Amino acid sequence: MDERRGTEATPMKNRTEVERKSERELVVTRTVNGPARLVFEAWTKADLFRRWWVPKSYGLTLLSCDMDVRVGGRYRLVFSHQGSTMDFFGTYREVTPHSRLVWTNEEADGGETVTTVTFDENAGKTLLVVHDLYPSKEALDAAIASGSTGGMPETLDQLEDLLVSLTSNSATK
Amino acid sequence: MVQYNQTHFDVSFGALADATRRGVLEQLGRADASITALAEKFHMTLTGMKKHVSVLEQAGLVTTEKVGRVRTCKLGLRRLEEEAAWIERYRQLWDARFEELDKVVEELKLKEKADGRKKRN
């Protein structure tokens, strides 16, 4: 509807920020140059989601991606890395089109981690806030201590090996 | 692997529960040292000190490196550094994801524009 184009955003990389907000919370923020309805679509349609969730540079294969995006609906992602597979699964708790998604991560034994994603549109751009609430301080500490970065600590050791090898140059010596 | 994590913490606490080992950590905080030097400093046998260092090593608090016949000990990553390093790796993962997401959203925008034009014509 709005025909004002303004200056078409020059391709500029937006900054990704990560903060451990409390003993149990981890927050990722990033602005995406697009309206919330399109960003939301990319998070909720499996064929779109699978194109970006596993960055190409990480050398992982997403074998399957099933997402039943509605309250109570389940999802399951199966990854393959060097011959072994890893499953990630959980349940959607809230699905509010274009503004909010909440799901559980149930693959870890230590309890559920709850992920809340909010989509906040402003002037054609969308501020994404990905908030992970771990079941306990110990669970988040353990995720950090084990080195896994998947938000799903126990099942990601192999992924971690890969990440470490990819990022060891830039990580703290 | 949950057990691994649990064990990891037990090992850390166990390692810090001993006064000599806390002393060794303090010492290594000042400078790297060989096991022989540490044994002398803490008036211990080499075997005794080796055991302490091995406990610290298993807890990830100390790393050792053998150069020639001398095994040198130094502080391993501290918890806070470990956390900062992890957060940076986690940030890089998300950054890479978002770069791909940008492409998907760009594509959706173009598609929407094209569809809009079709409708108007």
* CATH number for A87: 3.30.530.20
* Residue A8 in domain: no
- The A residues from 132 to 171 touching B (CB cutoff 8 Å) are 138, 141-142, 144-147, 149, 153-155, 157, 163-164, 167, 170-171
Cβ contacts of A90 within 8 Å, gap of 6 or more? A74, A75, A103, A104, A105, A106, A107, A112
Closest CA to A101 of A136, A49, A47, A51: A49
Q: How far is CA A57 from the centre of its chain?
A: 16
Nearest-neighbour CA in chain A from B119: distance (Å) = 13
Closest Cβ opposite residue A149 in set B84, B90, B106? B90
Kindly report the average pLDDT of chain B as a whole number: 82
Q: Does any CB of chain B come closer than 8 Å to the CB of residue A172?
A: yes
Query: For chain A, how many structural domains are there in total?
Result: 1
Domain span holding position A81: 26-167
Paired with A117 in beta bridges are: A101, A130
- Evaluate whether B35 touches B73 at the Cβ level (below 8 Å): yes
Residue type (1 letter), A2: D
- pTM of the full structure: 0.64
- Residue listed under structure tokens 């909720």: A44
Is residue A17, in this structure, part of any structural domain at all?
no
Architecture field, domain B2-75 = Orthogonal Bundle (1.10)
Q: What is the pLDDT of residues A48-95, one digit of tens each?
A: 999 899 877 776 788 999 999 999 999 999 988 767 788 899 999 999
- Whether A83 is in a domain gets the answer yes
Q: Please tell me if residue A23 touches chain B, with a CB cutoff of 8 Å.
A: no
Whether A10 is covered by a domain: the verdict is no
Check residue A25 and give its pLDDT.
95
Q: Does B80 touch chain A (CB under 8 A)?
A: no
- Let me know if residue A3 belongs to a domain: no
Query: pLDDT confidence of A170, banded at 50, 70, 90?
Result: very low
Task: Say whether the ipTM exceeds 0.95.
Answer: no
Indicate the SS3 state at residue A46.
helix
> Within an 8 Å CB–CB cutoff, is residue B105 touching chain A?
yes
B 9-48 near A (Cβ less than 8 A): 9
